[in-house]
């Protein structure tokens, strides 16, 4: 903290933050920022936690709300950037913060003076405990985030509510849904991209230019007025800073990236055996089998129906011996049963259940019948919940599925009463009792936290795998997620792409949508296309409802089976690329699946309909038809010329662009297009010029060691680079240096191309002993290849336009030169 002492002098301001008249106002320096105070009535603190991250807190009276958060860890909130005073606020290395002395409005600008975000009017209106924050929003701004809400990728013009809700058969206009992630990203403003994160667990509301097209408002009926401004200038900068603020997702086990087969429900142990045998017989790579609630005794969590599953532990061991993991569901509702049901008995003895306003245990109907609900706001109750996994963990169950955790009850309100009482004990909150109205939106996240921490305690060196339906900001630290009970329609396929993209921008990079749709039954073409798209999404799970038509890959006959098998197989060949993206996500927060404009800003305003297009990392663009049910040809916009077709390895044929009519305005973006005609046998996928994509030989699951060479596919172009990453795939040894991470680069000149593998980082020895470097866009003719002073035999393919060389793997820096003869 420096140079803010002059701001300790009193300011005379005209209006209070709420619009009432100010008296004497003191502005004083605090660590990393300033505090503006009007006597004992109103106060605002603006602090720079880091260069690019501002925290804004507003007090309704003389005292601020408790400095605590379920989303932002204490050590993060205590950090501060170096700041310097200005006449009306302060500045950091990249931001200028100003408070208008006439209105109290906050404006944040970049170092060059361009406005990043600014309050509309006085910025905040307070009505008792309720509040509304107002920001100006420019005509060119587009808004993303808010988790898995529907209504399109762009949130502009929408009005959204955060209240975790179990919604079956949701539509594109359904709101609220399962998650509450009160974070949004705006792009297109004068100061570049920025984010707003409202850290308030109550029933918050966001009006993004719907009521007033020039105003974005957000507020809640109660709770802290505590929000963050996250500067860009790029959308990637904002996403990474949000991940630094709320926590990055830990690296998932490698098997979690494999194909996962599920159904509500596989009813017996014999049925599980039949399905897994069919998967193997049909040569469908598979890593996970899921068990839904019917494997349990009377739908009671942490039990097994021993009639239907007479030897669950033996089944799990048998599947694991074949390389297939088992994930089972453990809903959070505990049956109120005094007939020896151990979770209810131990939970009652330990006083681990939520109480109502009268002090009695909350009860409600769910799948097991009358049920009670754990008190996840108390550290001791979370520890008790985690201990319930002991038997399943000992049996070798690999992962757990926390469903119904909004929490969902079979009552008209769909959840417990808002005046139910939660006892907060632990974390950085002071001990107190909170109503369910405050805790509801964070309850599912705390459920997954209890599961995650319990699994770590039971198996301290094994990466936990937890799937959740409900969550809150920061929940990515504990669980992967999925979009809930979707439907088997083309509209839901398209909707799922938008939901997964916005989840990735909201911190949840590991996200899935039920392939084929949960309810209704997909047509053969729809199911096949969903498999093809699902193969390029972060978590790849096929799941269908009880009573719905079968949706396993062999449904609909041999032709569709062949296409679905090919899609799944391609994912396994691409596993080294996926795993490197997962490693990068753990380190930076970059989503695995992301909007096409995340890395390629030229596509922000490209002329094509990109409503189904998405990127897998920065190097692959997947471009299904924007109207996926239509056979009509469509244009695909690419960020620049020279992109490659993933399937052929050849550069794409550009569509001739007709001259535009004369206009005084410059084009919005370079118009590089190719044309696609929908065909069920082809999902268009394109590769960035300059990408280096690692691929491996096909395996039947990630436990199987690939036989053969690791392939490095080099697509010449600018910024030619890629990354190799490997570790043991299951333990936490990678956090102690047992990993391999290696940068790969290429440089092209008139005589050929040079490929360089930097020295390997980490001490893990990978499975590959040989590397095959495949250079694409190789002109006709032989190639002379040398590594140091050694000439290596090369194979060229005139039709594929490739040159390939195989070399023994070395961990030291290696340079390979391809020269044209």
Tell me the catalytic residues. 403, 406, 485
Owner of token pair 């459920």: 447
DSSP letter at 466 equals E
Rounded to the nearest angstrom, the gap between the alpha carbon of residue 508 and the centroid of all alpha carbons in its chain is 2
Rounded to the nearest angstrom, the gap between the alpha carbon of residue 773 and the centroid of all alpha carbons in its chain is 32
Which stretches does DSSP call E strand in 276-420? 288-291, 325-329, 334-335, 364-366, 369-372, 399-402
CA torsion through residues 773, 775, 776, 780, sign = negative
766 preceded by a cis bond (ω within 30 of 0): no
Which residues on adjacent β-strands are paired with residue 480?
467
Owner of token pair 């301290």: 460
CB 229 within 8 A of CB 96: no
Q: What angle do CA 284, 286, 288 make, to 5 degrees?
A: 155
CA torsion through residues 731, 732, 738, 741, sign = positive
DSSP letter at 602 equals G
Helix or strand run (H / E) with residue 56: strand 53-59
Q: How far apart are CA 183 and CA 199, in angstroms?
A: 9
Q: How far apart are CA 713 and CA 691, in angstroms?
A: 8
Q: How far apart are CA 324 and CA 280, in angstroms?
A: 10
From edge to edge, which strands make up the β-sheet containing 593-594? 593-594, 614-616, 620-622, 685-687, 644-645
Q: Which two tokens stand for residue 130?
A: 């309720």
Instruction: Tell me how far apart the terminal alpha carbons of the chain are, to the nearest angstrom.
Output: 63
Residues 6 or more apart whose Cβ sits within 8 Å of residue 432 = 423, 424
Give the phi and the psi of residue 216 in degrees, each rounded to 5.
-110, 125
CA torsion through residues 488, 494, 498, 501, sign = positive
CA torsion through residues 630, 631, 632, 637, sign = positive
CB 813 within 8 A of CB 759: yes
In the three-class reduction of DSSP (H, G, I as helix; E, B as strand; rest coil), residue 492 is classed as: helix
Q: Using CB atoms within 10 A of its CB, is residue 307 exposed (0-12), middle (13-18) or buried (19+)? A: exposed
Q: How far apart are CA 80 and CA 49, in angstroms?
A: 4
Helix or strand run (H / E) with residue 565: helix 558-573
Owner of token pair 């490693």: 583
Rounded to the nearest angstrom, the gap between the alpha carbon of residue 640 and the centroid of all alpha carbons in its chain is 27
* DSSP-assigned letters across all residues of 144-210: EESTT--S-S--TT-EEE------TT--TT--S-S-B--EEEEESSTT--EEEEE---SS-EEEESS
Q: Give the residue among 158, 175, 174 at the shortest CA–CA distance from 218.
A: 158
In the three-class reduction of DSSP (H, G, I as helix; E, B as strand; rest coil), residue 686 is classed as: strand
Q: How far apart are CA 783 and CA 795, in angstroms?
A: 8
Which residues on adjacent β-strands are paired with residue 636?
674
Owner of token pair 């179990």: 166
Other C-beta atoms within 10 Å of 631: how many? 10
Q: How far apart are CA 70 and CA 202, in angstroms?
A: 12
Q: How far apart are CA 139 and CA 142, in angstroms?
A: 9
């Amino acid at each position: 903290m420096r140079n803010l002492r002059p701001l300790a002098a009193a300011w005379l301001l005209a209006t209070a933050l709420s619009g009432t008249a100010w008296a004497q106002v003191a502005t004083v320096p605090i660590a990393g920022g300033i505090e503006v105070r009007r006597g004992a009535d109103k106060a605002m603190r603006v602090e720079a936690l880091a260069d690019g991250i501002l925290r804004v807190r507003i007090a309704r009276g003389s005292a601020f709300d408790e400095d605590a958060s379920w989303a932002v860890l204490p050590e993060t909130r205590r950090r501060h950037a170096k700041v310097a005073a200005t006449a009306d606020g302060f500045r950091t290395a990249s931001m200028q913060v100003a408070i208008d002395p006439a209105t109290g409005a906050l404006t944040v600008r970049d170092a060059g003076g361009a406005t990043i975000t600014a309050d509309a009017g006085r910025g905040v209106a307070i009505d008792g405990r309720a509040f509304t924050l107002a920001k100006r929003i420019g005509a060119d701004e587009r808004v993303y985030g808010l988790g898995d809400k529907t209504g399109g990728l762009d949130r502009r013009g929408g009005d959204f509510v955060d209240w975790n809700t179990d919604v079956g058969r949701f539509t594109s206009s359904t709101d609220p849904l399962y998650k509450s992630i009160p974070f949004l990203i705006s792009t297109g403003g004068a100061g570049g991209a920025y984010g707003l994160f409202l850290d308030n667990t109550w029933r918050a509301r966001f009006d993004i230019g719907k009521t007033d097209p020039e105003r974005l408002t957000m507020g809640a009926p109660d709770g802290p007025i505590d929000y963050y401004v996250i500067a860009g200038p790029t959308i990637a900068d904002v996403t990474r800073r949000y991940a630094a603020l709320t926590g990055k997702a830990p690296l998932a086990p490698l098997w979690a990236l494999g194909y996962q087969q599920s159904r509500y429900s596989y009813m017996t142990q014999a049925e599980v055996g039949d399905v897994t045998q069919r998967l193997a017989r049909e040569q469908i790579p598979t890593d996970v089998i899921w068990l839904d609630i019917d494997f349990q005794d009377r739908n009671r969590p942490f039990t097994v129906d021993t009639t239907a599953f007479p030897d669950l532990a033996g089944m799990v061991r048998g599947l694991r011996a074949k390389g297939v993991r088992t994930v089972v569901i453990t809903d959070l509702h505990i049956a109120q049963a005094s007939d020896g049901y151990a979770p209810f008995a131990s939970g009652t003895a330990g006083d681990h259940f939520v109480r109502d306003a009268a002090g009695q245990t909350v009860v409600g109907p769910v799948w097991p019948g009358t049920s009670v609900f754990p008190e996840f706001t108390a550290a001791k109750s979370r520890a008790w919940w985690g201990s319930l996994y002991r038997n399943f963990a000992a049996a070798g169950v690999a992962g757990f599925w926390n469903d119904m955790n909004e929490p969902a009850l079979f009552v008209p309100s769909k959840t417990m009463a808002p005046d139910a009482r939660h006892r907060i004990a632990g974390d950085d909150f002071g001990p107190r009792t909170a109503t369910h109205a405050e805790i509801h939106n964070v309850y599912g996240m705390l459920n997954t936290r209890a599961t995650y921490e319990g699994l770590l305690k039971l198996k301290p060196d094994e990466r936990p795998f937890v799937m959740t339906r409900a969550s809150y900001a920061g929940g990515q630290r504990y669980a992967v997620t999925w979009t809930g009970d979707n439907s088997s329609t083309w509209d839901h396929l398209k909707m799922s792409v938008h939901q997964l993209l916005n989840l990735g921008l909201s911190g949840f990079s590991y996200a899935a949508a039920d392939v084929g749709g949960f309810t209704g039954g997909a047509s053969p073409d729809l199911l096949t296309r969903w498999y093809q798209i699902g193969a390029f999404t972060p978590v790849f799970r096929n799941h269908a409802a009880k009573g719905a038509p079968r949706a396993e890959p062999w449904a609909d006959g041999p032709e569709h089976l062949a296409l679905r098998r090919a899609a799944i197989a391609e994912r396994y060949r691409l596993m080294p690329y996926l795993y490197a993206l997962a490693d990068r996500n753990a380190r930076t927060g970059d989503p695995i699946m992301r909007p096409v404009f995340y890395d390629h800003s030229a596509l922000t305003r490209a002329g094509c309909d990109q409503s189904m297009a998405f990127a897998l990392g920065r190097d692959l663009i997947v471009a299904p038809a924007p109207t996926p049910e239509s056979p009509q040809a469509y244009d695909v916009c690419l960020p620049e010329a020279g992109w490659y077709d993933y399937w052929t390895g050849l550069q794409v044929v550009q569509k001739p662009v007709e001259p535009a009519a004369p206009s005084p305005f410059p084009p919005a973006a370079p118009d590089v297009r190719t044309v696609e005609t929908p065909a069920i046998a082809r999902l268009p996928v394109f590769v960035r010029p300059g990408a280096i994509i690692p691929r491996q030989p096909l395996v039947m699951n990630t436990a199987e060691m690939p036989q053969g060479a690791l392939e490095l596919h080099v697509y010449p172009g600018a910024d030619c680079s890629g990354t190799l990453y490997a570790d043991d795939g299951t333990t936490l040894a990678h956090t102690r240096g047992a990993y391999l991470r290696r940068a790969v680069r290429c440089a092209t000149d008139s005589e050929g191309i040079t490929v360089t593998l930097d020295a390997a980082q980490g001490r893990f020895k990978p499975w590959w002993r040989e590397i095959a470097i495949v250079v694409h866009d190789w002109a006709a003719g032989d190639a002379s290849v040398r590594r140091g002073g050694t000439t290596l035999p090369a194979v060229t393919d005139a039709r594929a336009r490739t040159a390939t060389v195989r070399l023994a793997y070395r961990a030291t820096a290696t340079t390979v030169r391809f020269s044209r003869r």
